[in-house]
């Protein structure tokens, strides 16, 4: 059984972050000259107007009525309970501007959507078929051509809880919603957000997460992983076997590879710190670079790679390596071969410290 949300003709802008606004609600007007049963105040024995003090009755009644009217739009939320078929290897797109998106896996060839639709939201729009399904929370469209979004404070967040097939591919978009994904194992998992935090625990073959200020906590067993933020933190760990890429501007990025070895790693930051703990596959490559952030690389003692390190004004450390410094001016660098030199490792920073640890 499904519940259909009210339809609307307004459509979202085709831009990535569309313009939003919420129409004003009419505030109910109370006639303070009459009581709530419709009778005149002058006929009520306890509310008969006293000419000597007229404001003591009318003003409080008006204030109470207005406060009650203003509070009414914030109290309503529409329960959600929808079920749609989706192939075990189908694709699901989820879009919710604010609130929360909670995705969990199950073994049924269908998607169940529960939660609460926030007051002021147009509707929950569900479209597509069993091979590709879309679930979107639709907000009233401002109609602005600028591509900016503005959501009224009177529009409440929407909470979405979705049970999805274990192997279905997922594409999740949000602005400020908290995103949590647990137990899934799709071929592809893609998440885009602005300020919402992201928490993933699963086994996607490939995972890609982009955020601006949201923090990313990713515990995954994946072949490829790509995580990017501007000011948010990245915490990535799990059995990662092929390629990992992390990028930040001011946020720190910490990667820990468990029970496996990477073939490729690329880490970049401006002022954030980078740390990586991993094994290196044969002929593997690691590149870590920052402007002012520190770099810490942890590799096993039986490392087989050529390692290059460089810093302009920061310090460099690497076991067994000779640090070269120019006779005049700043700067330091080293080149050192460990084992047979099968792999290639580079750690570079302008003003931060760069350290290679073997353990």
Domain boundary among 74, 94, 120: 74
Q: What average pLDDT does range 5-11 have in this prediction?
A: 42
Asked if residue 314 is part of any domain, the answer here is yes
If pLDDT is split at 50, 70 and 90, which confidence band does 291 have?
very high
User: For residue 17, with 0-12 CB atoms within 10 Å meaning exposed, 13-18 middle and 19 or more buried, which class applies?
Assistant: middle
In-domain check, residue 107: no
Residue with structure tokens 């001011």?
250
At 27-75, the pLDDT tens digits run 344 343 444 344 443 444 333 444 444 444 445 454 555 444 444 444 4
Among 63-77, 208-222, 273-287, the minimum mean pLDDT is found in 63-77
Query: Is 238 contained in some domain?
Result: yes
How would residue 153 be classed by pLDDT, with cut points 50, 70 and 90? low
Instruction: Give the total number of structural domains in the chain.
Output: 2
pLDDT of residue 17 exceeding 80: no
Give the per-residue pLDDT at 328: 84
Q: CB count, 10 Å around CB of 41?
A: 17
* Residue 141 confidence (pLDDT): 72
Structural domain harbouring 291: 205-359
- DSSP category for residue 40: B
**Domain assignment present for 286:** yes
Q: Out of 74, 92, 121, pick the residue that ends a domain.
A: 74
Residue 182 lies in a domain: no
For residue 154, the model assigns a pLDDT of 72
Same domain, 210 and 358: yes
For range 71-96, the mean pLDDT: 86
Domain boundary among 59, 74, 89: 74
Compute the distance between CA of residue 96 and CA of residue 158 in angstroms, rounded to an integer. Answer: 7
Does residue 199 form part of some domain? no
Average pLDDT along the chain: 84
Q: What's the mean pLDDT in 315-338?
A: 94
- pLDDT value at position 3? 44
Cα-based torsion angle of the residue sequence 209, 210, 215, 218 in order, rounded to the nearest 10 degrees: 10
Burial class (CB in 10 A: 0-12, 13-18, 19+), 63: exposed
For the stretch 244-266, pLDDT in tens is 999 999 999 999 999 999 999 99
Nearest residue to 8 (alpha-carbon basis) of 124, 171, 180, 92: 124
Mean pLDDT across 165-169: 99
- Say if residue 138's pLDDT is above 70: yes
- 69 and 213 within one domain: no
Residue 277 lies inside a defined structural domain of this protein: yes
Would residue 294 count as lying in a domain? yes
Cα–Cα distance, 37 to 12 (Å, whole number): 44
Residues 209 and 357 in one domain: yes
- Average pLDDT, integer, range 172-195: 98
Residue 236 neighbours by CB distance under 10 Å: 25
């Amino acid at each position: 059984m499904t519940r259909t949300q009210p339809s609307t003709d307004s459509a979202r802008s085709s831009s990535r972050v569309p313009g939003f606004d919420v129409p004003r609600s009419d505030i109910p007007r109370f006639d303070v000259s009459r009581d709530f049963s419709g009778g005149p105040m002058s006929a009520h024995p306890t509310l008969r107007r006293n000419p000597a003090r007229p404001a003591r009755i009318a003003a409080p009644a008006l204030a109470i009525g207005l406060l009650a009217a203003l509070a009414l739009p914030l109290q309503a939320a529409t329960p959600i309970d929808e079920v749609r078929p989706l192939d075990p290897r189908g694709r699901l797109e989820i879009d919710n501007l604010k609130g929360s998106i909670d995705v969990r896996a199950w073994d049924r060839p269908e998607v169940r959507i529960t939660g609460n639709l926030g007051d002021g939201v147009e509707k929950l729009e569900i479209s597509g078929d069993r091979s590709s399904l879309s679930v979107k929370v639709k907000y009233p469209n401002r109609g602005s051509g600028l591509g900016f979004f503005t959501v009224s404070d009177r529009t409440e967040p929407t909470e979405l809880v979705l049970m999805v097939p274990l192997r279905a591919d997922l594409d999740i978009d949000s602005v400020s919603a908290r995103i949590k994904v647990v137990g899934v194992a799709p071929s592809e998992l893609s998440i885009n957000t602005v300020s919402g935090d992201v928490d993933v625990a699963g086994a996607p073959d490939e995972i890609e997460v982009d955020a601006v200020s949201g923090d990313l906590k990713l515990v995954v067993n994946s072949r490829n992983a790509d995580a990017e933020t501007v000011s948010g933190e990245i915490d990535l760990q799990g059995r990662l076997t092929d390629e990992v890429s992390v990028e930040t501007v001011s946020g720190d990025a910490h990667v820990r590879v468990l029970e496996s070895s990477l073939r490729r790693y690329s880490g970049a930051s401006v002022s954030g710190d980078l740390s990586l703990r991993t094994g290196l596959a044969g002929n593997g490559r690691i590149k870590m670079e920052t402007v002012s952030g520190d770099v810490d690389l942890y590799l096993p003692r039986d490392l087989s790679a050529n390692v290059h390190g460089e810093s302009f004004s920061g310090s460099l450390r690497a076991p067994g390596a000779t640090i070269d410094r120019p006779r005049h001016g700043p700067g330091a660098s080293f080149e050192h071969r460990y084992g047979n030199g099968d792999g290639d490792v580079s750690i570079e920073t302008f003003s931060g410290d760069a350290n290679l640890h073997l353990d």
